[in-house]
Amino acid sequence: MQVPFQQQKCTNSYFAPKSVIAIHIASHYSAGVSGSPKNQMGRVIAVANQKGGVGKTTTAINLASSIAAAEVDTLLVDCDPQSNATSGLGLPKDPDRLSTYHLLMGEARAEDALQKTGLDQLWLVPAHKNLIGANLELIDVERREFRLRDALAPLRERFPYIVLDCPPALDLLTLNSLVAADSILIPMQAEYFALEGVSELLDTIERIRAALNPQLSIEGVVLTMFDDRTNLAQQVTAELDRFFGDKLFKTTIPRNVRLAEAPSHGKPVLLYDPRSRGAESYIQLAKEILGRHMPVEMPAREDAPAEERQVVNAPRWKRWIKDRNKLTTINILDR
């Protein structure tokens, strides 16, 4: 019998309790943002692009981790049969563990499939390679496109943010993810073929809006593996900026060795190397997304003018820094 996640004991060494200190990150969100996800229904963001190798899973893992490190309860749902998001957070392969497959087939509640991770406020619904069979098994099932939406519905009040890691294909698994989502985050490389792939994805989004999910919106486009030293990267960025406007995130994710190494250690880069460019970039991306949906309330210095001290209740990021085998705090305000 499956043990409810509240009673599970983490046996993975990466999940050992850590002495952590929450610190404030001083930066200003864009004006006009109001409301907090803690008193709204949770926002479901699908990380999708049918082109492979663009950093979908890396983005899903590290975006969810960065939001969770801001002390916002976050759920990552692995919808890819390759289950890289599952292994990337340190969970070993286990065919007997409840997974996304069981949710799609109606064999388990999402609440029972939750797994704890190395971050206090990040949970995971794992995947397994048997998920690929769902594409065939769901063909004749009633409301097959709504299975994931129905399964996640009970968790939307509990989790302000739910991130879905989609497979690199426009199949029934991705369709379920896009029907369940409020918005889609599109990671892409600054390359010509990536532009062609996005045009096909946008056509799919329009069809889903028309037939299955009228509320589906584009959360934004984020450039991954980005190298601004090349003319091609600059040209593609300019084209995307003209087409997407403010839907193109200002944050870009650079090529970074630490980002590539972190999954082999079963950790998000925020835990593996918080000082790396990859970790800093995903924190900035999380701040952009939170800034669209959370209050523009940030802490101010004590010596600041009164009108600057009116901002409070900012998202806070937990940071883990290894220094002679001790966990210390980075004071971002002094950097």
Phi, psi of 83 (to 5 degrees): 50, 40
Rounded to 10 degrees, what is the CA torsion of 286, 48, 209, 238?
70
Considering the domain boundaries, does residue 277 fall inside one?
A: yes
Measured distance CA(212)–CA(214) in Å, rounded: 6
Residue 74, strand partner residues: 122, 161
Considering the domain boundaries, does residue 27 fall inside one?
A: no
258-286 pLDDT, tens digit per residue, is 999 999 999 999 999 999 999 999 999 99
Q: Would the pLDDT of 116 be above 80?
A: yes
Going by C-alpha positions, the residue among 281, 333, 301, 319 that lies closest to residue 22 is 319
- What percent of the chain lies above the pLDDT cut of 70? 76
Mean predicted confidence (pLDDT) in 273-300: 82
Instruction: Kindly report the CATH number assigned to the domain that includes residue 82.
Output: 3.40.50.300
Q: Would the pLDDT of 22 be above 90?
A: no
Q: Would the pLDDT of 126 be above 90?
A: yes
pTM above 0.85, yes or no: no
Q: Which domain holds residue 139?
A: 5-9+34-334
CA 100 to chain centre: 16
Considering the domain boundaries, does residue 126 fall inside one?
A: yes
- pLDDT score at 60: 97
Stronger pLDDT, 304 or 273, i.e. the higher one = 273
Contacts of 89 (CB under 8 A, 6+ apart): 61, 76, 117, 118, 122, 124, 266, 267, 268
Q: For residue 1, what pLDDT band results from cuts at 50, 70 and 90? A: very low
Instruction: Pick the range with the lowest mean pLDDT from 58-62, 207-211, 231-235.
Output: 231-235
Considering the domain boundaries, does residue 16 fall inside one?
A: no
- pLDDT score at 59: 97
- pLDDT score at 162: 98
Q: Which two tokens stand for residue 325?
A: 């085998």
Going by C-alpha positions, the residue among 238, 216, 214 that lies closest to residue 228 is 238
Considering the domain boundaries, does residue 15 fall inside one?
A: no
Q: For residue 40, what pLDDT band results from cuts at 50, 70 and 90? A: low
Considering the domain boundaries, does residue 130 fall inside one?
A: yes
Measured distance CA(319)–CA(314) in Å, rounded: 16
Q: Which residue has the tokens 């002679």?
A: 324
Mean predicted confidence (pLDDT) in 322-335: 38
The tally of domains found in the chain comes to 1
R_g of the chain, CA atoms, integer Å:
20
- Contact between 287 and 65 under an 8 Å Cβ cutoff? The reply is no
Considering the domain boundaries, does residue 278 fall inside one?
A: yes
242-262 pLDDT, tens digit per residue, is 889 999 999 999 999 999 999
Going by C-alpha positions, the residue among 41, 19, 48 that lies closest to residue 221 is 48
Mean predicted confidence (pLDDT) in 176-199: 89
Considering the domain boundaries, does residue 311 fall inside one?
A: yes
Q: For residue 324, what pLDDT band results from cuts at 50, 70 and 90? A: very low
Q: Which residue has the tokens 């952590």?
A: 20
